[in-house]
Amino acid sequence: MTFMADYITLFLSGFLSATLLPGTSEIVLIAMLSQGVGESLFLVIAATIGNVMGSLVNWLLGKYLIRFMDSRWFPVSRKQYERAKLWFEHYGIWSLLLAWLPIVGDPLTLIAGTLGVRLKVFLILVTIGKFARYAFIAWVSGIIVG
């Protein structure tokens, strides 16, 4: 791959992980880090931006298209939605720091849209949580891979 293509690949993996394919961006990041592809910080940033943009899609779905939740194409099931809603009601907007979590993370970002969380607040909290997760993965990968 070329230099820029590596970052675009990781961005797209992060984006899809937040919308359709849970978990793949972490694997792509670890693979790139272990192969010495790109700069670690820029890989983390690319994954974070892609993943946050995917979460933004969920926020927009929650804000404008929640009425389609029971449609086949909708990325969050009613059960996931209800679980995330309880989580959000209990922890409030701070739960968005955990938007990277499997199973509940994507629905949390959708809930934020349905409940009208301001976009600026949403982006700040989600970015902090997702960046911290990717930075931790990169750090651990550096320890393991050396």
* pTM score, whole prediction: 0.88
Whether 137 contacts 66, CB under 8 Å: no
Spatial contact of 110 and 62, defined as CB atoms under 8 Å apart: yes
Q: Per residue in 42-55, pLDDT tens?
A: 999 999 999 999 99
Query: Euclidean distance between the first and final Cα of the chain, in Å?
Result: 23
How many angstroms separate the CA atoms of 64 and 116, rounded? 10
Which pLDDT score is estimated for 1? Answer: 52
Buried b (16+ CB within 10 A) or exposed e, 123-145: bebbbebbbebbbebbeebeeee
Write the pLDDT tens digit of every residue in 72-110. 888 778 888 888 888 888 999 999 999 998 878 888 999
